[in-house]
Amino acid sequence: MGSDLSPLVITLWVLNVLVDSGGQLAFKAAASEPPLALDGMARWRFMLARPWIWIGGVCYIVEFVAWLAFLSLVPLSDGVLLGSINIVAIMIAGRIFFKEKLAPLRVAGIILVSIGVAVVGLKG
């Protein structure tokens, strides 16, 4: 894929990573905001009245379009492997924005996934 990484492919790939990560972060923010005393429909009504859940939904619509465009330009096997970098971005963002823990095995996973994406991205 290395020589196939046109500026358009790279742009779509980065856009996909950004909006997927943004959507996951927005959904996490929406799910984290309701007071624990709320349950059932009251919890859902509270979340639906907050902007985070709607931002997450818009991110996923944009991601859907970007992903389709990306897959139209790269082989599916490469696209799915390159798309796995989203996992890394989301774990790191969860650590930064929500103070989630990154256990040693997760850090090892981040490193392995990153190496795999680099190998797929650099192959000639």
pLDDT in tens, 31-62: 887 777 788 888 888 888 899 999 999 999 99
Of 53, 67, 66, 44, the closest CA to residue 23 belongs to: 53
Beta strands in the chain (DSSP E): none
pLDDT tens digits, 59-93: 999 999 999 999 999 999 889 888 889 999 999 99
The 3-state secondary structure of 35-50 reads CCCCCHHHHHHHHHCC
d(CA 124, CA 114): 18
pLDDT tens digits, 98-122: 999 999 999 999 999 999 888 887 7
Q: What residues contact 2, with CB distance under 8 A and at least 6 apart?
A: 121, 122, 123, 124
Which pTM was predicted? 0.83
Q: What residues does each domain of the chain span?
A: 2-122
